Amino acid sequence: MVCLFGFDKMGPENIPSLQVHYWNGIHKALTKLGAKVVVAGVPRTGAIRKRAEDLHGILSATMEGSPVNFVAHSMGGLDCRYLISHIHNKNYHVESLTTFSTPHRGSPMMDWFRDNIGVGLLQQSEEEAMRKLGEEASRHAAAAAAAAVTSASTPEAKATAAQEAAQHSRNMQAPPWSRFLIPFLDTPAYANLTTEYCTQVFNPNTPDDSRVAYYSYGASIPRLPIWAPLGFPWAVIKAREGENDGLVSIASARWGKYIETVECDHWDLNNRWRLKIGYPSNTSGSSFDAVELYMRAATKLFHEGH
C-alpha cells in the first residue's frame, strides 16, 4: 500500500528534525494490519506531472515486482491518476487507487484566488497578497457578524454577538487558511487545482485505466463559522458546489466507485492535528477518527481482493 498526501509532512524543510509526518499514527495502524506501507513524499508545490514522476521514481526503487494499492489524500490523488494513465513500463503493478477528498474537478477556492487575488505574485509581495486576503475575509466576516447581531433575540444577546463579531473581525486580518494556501500561489500546483484546469485539461487527457480499480471518499462539515480556520473557503465552495470539507466539495471528490462521505474537515482527513502538541484529534468537533477511517478503507481493499 502506497500512502500519498498532497504533501506528507509539516514543518521547515531545512530543519528535518522539526518536521512531523502527516501519516503519523496511520502508518503504524496499517502496518499492524499486515500491509506493507510506503509513505511517499513529493514536492508540495510541484506540477502534477513532476510529482507523479517523482512518485514513480520512489516506487521503481522500492516496489519492483510488487502489486501497489494507492491511498491518496487531496492533490495526491491527481498525482496517482497521472502516474497510472501516463507513465508506462512500470516495474510494479498498480491494482487500485483510493482517494480521500481529492479535487478531481478542481476547487472553487483556487478559482477565487485566481479571480480575486490574481496569480501575479511574482509582481507583488507575499505581504501584499496576505493583505488582500485579509481584506476579503474580513468583509465576509463582517457580513456574517451583522447577520448574527440582527438575528439575536434580546439586547443582551445582541451585545454579546457584537462583541464576538469584533473579536472575530480582528482575527480575520491574517486568517489561518491563508497561510496554508499562499505557498501554492504562482506555482504549478496552484494552476493545476483550478476547476477549469481539472475539468477542461487534466480529466479529458487523463483517462482511467480499465485494469485499475478506482475508489473515492469525500468529506463535509454541515457548517463552519466564517472566522473558523477553514470557514471562509468553506463558504466560497458552499456557494458554488454545495457540501464540502473547507477545501474540496463532495462533487469534486467523487471518482470511480464512491464509498462514503465522512464528517470532518480537509485537515482532519490527513491526521494533521493528531500530534503530540496539545491539539485535539480533530478540529471539526465531530467524532471523526482518521486512523479508523484508513484502517476501514484498507480492510475494504482486502475484501475486494487487492
- Per-residue confidence (pLDDT) for residue 220, from 0 to 100: 95
SS (H, E, C) 244-283: ECCCCEHHHHCCCEEEEEEECCHHHHCCCCCCCCCCCCCC
Per-residue DSSP letter, 185 = T
Rounded to the nearest 5 degrees, what angle is found at the Cα of 111, between the Cα atoms of 105 and 114? Answer: 145
Instruction: Tell me how far apart the 2 most distant CA atoms of the chain are, in Å.
Output: 71
Cell of 141: 466576516
Q: Pick the residue with more confidence: 69 or 25?
A: 69
Pick from 8, 40, 12: which is nearest to 21 by CA?
8
Percent of the chain with pLDDT over 70: 63
Pick from 42, 35, 41: which is nearest to 68 by CA?
35
Which residues have CB under 8 Å from 45's CB, separation 6+? 183, 184, 187, 188, 189, 190
Q: Is 4 within 8 Å of 71 (Cβ atoms)?
A: yes
Strand partners, 95: none
Confidence of residue 188 (pLDDT cuts 50, 70, 90): low
Q: Is 191 within 8 Å of 103 (Cβ atoms)?
A: no
Residue the block writes with cell 476501514: 296
The C-alpha atoms of residue 181 and residue 113 are separated, in whole angstroms, by 9
* Through-space distance between the first and last CA atoms of the chain, rounded to whole angstroms: 10
Domains and CATH numbers, the chain: 2-107+195-303 (3.40.50.1820), 111-180 (no CATH)
- The CA distances from residue 210 to 56, 94, 195, 206, 215, in Å, are 20, 11, 25, 12, 13
pLDDT (tens digit per residue) in 265-289: 988 887 654 443 333 444 455 578 8
- Per-residue confidence (pLDDT) for residue 133, from 0 to 100: 53
Per-residue DSSP letter, 171 = H
Q: Report the range of poorest mean pLDDT among 76-85, 143-152, 169-178, 281-290.
A: 169-178
- The CA distances from residue 58 to 24, 39, 42, 65, in Å, are 20, 10, 9, 14
pLDDT (tens digit per residue) in 68-124: 999 988 888 999 999 999 999 999 999 999 999 999 999 998 888 878 776 534 444
The C-alpha atoms of residue 110 and residue 125 are separated, in whole angstroms, by 19
Rounded to the nearest 5 degrees, what angle is found at the Cα of 112, between the Cα atoms of 269 and 194? Answer: 65
